[in-house]
A and B are shown apart, each in its own frame.
Chain A
Amino acid sequence: MSLLQIEGLGIDFGGLRAVHDVSFSLGAGEIVSVIGPNGAGKTTLFNMISGVYRPEHGRVRLAGEDVTGIEPHLLARRGLSRTFQNLQIFQAMTVLENAIAGHHLHEKGPVLADLLSLPSSRRRAAEAEASARMLLDRVGLGRAEAQEAGSLSYGALKRLEIARALALKPRVLLLDEPAAGCNAVETEEIDRLIAEVAAEGVAILLVEHDMKMVMRISNHIVVLDHGEKIAEGAPAKVSRDPRVIEAYLGPQVRETADAHG
């Protein structure tokens, strides 16, 4: 059974059709990529799935449950987590604290216990801290844990966001351009990390502009253009689809051909 099911999702912004009638589904351990030219509605689609926008049409189902338009913090409780295209890091915190903050649902407890620093409160925080350290090691930021997050490089912040999202132990993970602004080495690291996480059974929905990466790691690709789904399928199939080539890959292919000619 699919873990995340998108059925006829749509939203308008002041008469402008941002996303219209998009459907697809995502199973455990699968990596599905959403591609399309700039302004195709990829981030809007992400925002609807993750509860940041309330869709006007259609349904989002998480493990069968209708979760359309419910708030992001309630989706987080149901195991849906995400990263952002424009980074949303807690700048004033250290790297370690950003990763601990991702454990909010595991570490939160009564305010009174926190005010009095009761052993129960300290234990919750210590467990979250230990788990945060492991996650930082996993994304290669273990040595940066004491730094202020604002001082990290762009690529490192992207990985920190992934670590923070993984802290939730999500069933579904939405990654919005995780490799944007990263160099080749960093992209490869993120690539490997995504594959690892998927292999653990997490369903991953990816928006990414790096086509090589998308073609390499996706099981399934959904192509958007002007807010509508124009194709979907396996990478090899999508890359040969004439509508996709025309709408999206076409100009690029021609440009590449021109550059080589």
Chain B
Amino acid sequence: MRLSSKTTTLLALAALIALAPLFFPSSYYFRVGSLIFVNGLAVTGLVVLTGYAGQISLGHAGFVGIGAYACALAPVHLGLNPIAAAVVGAALSGGIAWLVGRPILRLKGYYLAVASLGFGALVSMVLANEAQVTGGPDGMTVPDPGLRALLKSAGLDLSNSAFWYAFSGIVLVIGAWLALNLYHSPTGRALRALHGSEVAARTVGVDVAGFKLRAFVISAFYASLSGSLLALQNKFITPDVAGYMHSIELVTMTVLGGAGSVLGAICGAMILTTLPQVLTVFQEYEQVMLGLVMMLVMIFMRDGLLPSLSRKIRGRGK
């Protein structure tokens, strides 16, 4: 039986996540791994928004911030379990995305980029300034959801970092599965159609504004859950997660890895999460090298790292 490209992608991703720990020399690598998965989740949402629907957002860290602070605030104020708080955060992010998306998705290209940047700035300002509620720039602690204790009582005793590695890895695979389902579905086709030609999409009956909004809301869910995962595993959160630098990092990961491909964008998340650690050998030139790598990839591999490489390999196979 021939496997579909969707199944192959998911199997490759799951195998990578499951087997990588065999080569981890220390628990520090679990930490880096789960950070990759957290970023990979937000980036998968951006694949839906940017890669499928062709819309840009420079404010998605705003939703990451909402998801992260939901896990810190809802347990204190509403007495919710932090996992339930993540769901509430995602619902809130989706609702806000729906409200914000309606006016700003009418804009195109760099107008949309600036408007979404403004949204992200707004969220991070609120989180930094409402110190009585959010702790301000000093941040907040996030309670433990008790999942690891639950596993332990069931007989599976994982270290803290190994547990969060596994948990975020599973969430990422589910997130990738949903995004890949969407790609080949009627909704995904409508999104890719309006990306290709808005006027033609309209004439075949696609409600362009409605579908852009759907992509925006879906990507906000992903960003919000990414923020929640980050908050839960760090057990501490500062307004920096919602900052514009984080928004731009997420977009850079998406585009560098390949916005049109879920696996590519996750590779982008992996590279940009680990590269700064690898490049520390260049010491004070670290940032320079990072910038250089990004420029070179974009100049020579415009479709992103993974799609460009796989095309080259396939081209040679012929």
Name the distance in Å between B188's Cβ and chain A's nearest Cβ: 7
Pair A105/B200 contact, Cβ less than 8 Å = no
A108 touches B186 (CB 8 A): yes
Residues in B neighbouring A91, C-beta threshold 8 A: 196
In contact, B205 and A73 (Cβ under 8 angstroms):
yes
Give A54 to B314 CA distance when docked, in angstroms: 48
Given the interface pairs A114-B182, A116-B181, the reply to whether A105 lies near B203 with Cβ below 8 Å is no
**A168 to B199, Cβ gap below 8 A?**
no
Partner of B202, one of A73, A108, A165: A73
Cβ of A73 and Cβ of B208 under 8 Å apart? yes
Chain B residues within CB distance 8 Å of chain A: 178, 181-182, 184-190, 192-193, 195-197, 199-208, 214, 218, 260
Residue of chain B at shortest CB distance from A81 = B203
Which residue of B has the minimal Cβ distance to A100? B189
The residues of B that contact A237 with a CB separation of less than 8 Å are none
Q: What mask results when residues 103 to 118 of chain A are scored 1 for a CB within 8 Å of chain B, else 0?
A: 1110111010011110
Query: Is A159's CB within 8 Å of the partner chain B?
Result: no
A104–B206 CB distance below 8 A? yes
Provide the main secondary structure of the chain B interface.
Answer: helix
CB distance from A110 to the nearest CB of B (A): 9
Interface contact B196-A89, CB-CB below 8 Å: yes
B189–A115 CB distance below 8 A: no
Q: Which of B192, B195, B197, B206 touches A73 (beta carbons < 8 Å)? A: B206
Q: Whose C-beta in chain B lies nearest to the C-beta of A72? A: B202
Partner of B196, one of A52, A93, A114: A93
Residues of B within 8 A of A44 (CB): none
Asked if B193 and A90 make an inter-chain contact with CB atoms under 8 angstroms apart, the answer reads yes
CA distance A107 to B196 in the complex (A): 19
CB-CB under 8 A for A72 and B199, given A102-B204, A104-B193, A164-B204: yes
In chain A, positions 146-192 with a C-beta closer than 8 Å to chain B are: 164-165, 167-168
* Residues of chain B contacted by A121 (CB below 8 angstroms): 185-186
With A89-B197, A104-B186, A108-B187 known, 20 other A-B pairs at CB within 8 A are: A71-B202, A73-B203, A73-B208, A75-B203, A77-B205, A81-B203, A82-B203, A88-B197, A90-B197, A93-B193, A100-B189, A101-B190, A104-B205, A105-B205, A114-B182, A115-B181, A117-B185, A121-B185, A128-B186, A164-B200
Docked-complex contact A76 and B204, CB < 8 angstroms:
yes
8 A-B pairs with CB atoms under 8 Å apart are A89-B200, A101-B190, A101-B192, A102-B204, A104-B189, A117-B184, A121-B186, A125-B186
Please tell me if A243 contacts chain B, counting CB pairs below 8 Å: no
Let me know if B186 and A124 touch, CB within 8 A.
yes
A102 vs B184: C-alpha distance when bound (angstroms): 15
With A104-B186, A121-B185, A164-B204 as contacts: A111 and B218 at CB distance below 8 Å: yes
A104 and B178 contact, CB distance less than 8 A: no
Asked whether B184 lies within 8 Å of A125 as measured between CB atoms, the reply is: yes
Number of contact residues on A: which range applies?
35 or more
Interface residues, chain A, CB within 8 Å of chain B? 50-52, 71-73, 75-77, 81-82, 84, 88-93, 97, 100-105, 107-109, 111, 114-117, 121, 124-125, 128, 164-165, 167-168
Complex interface: chain A residues within 8 A of B192 (CB): 90, 92-93, 97, 101
Q: Which B residues touch A168, using CB under 8 A?
A: 204-205
Are A114 and B185 interface neighbours, CB within 8 A? Answer: yes
Judge whether A76 and B200 touch: CB under 8 Å.
no
B196, B205, B208, B214 — which one has the most chain A CB atoms within 10 A of its CB?
B205
Q: How far is the CA of A103 from the CA of B186 in the complex (A)?
A: 9
A90 with B196, Cβ < 8 A, contacts A104-B206, A115-B178 known: yes
Asked whether A76 and B203 contact (CB < 8 A) given A108-B190, A125-B185, the answer is yes
Q: How far is the CA of A97 from the CA of B206 in the complex (A)?
A: 15
Contacting pair A84 B189 (CB below 8 A): no
Are B203 and A50 in touch, CB under 8 angstroms? Answer: yes
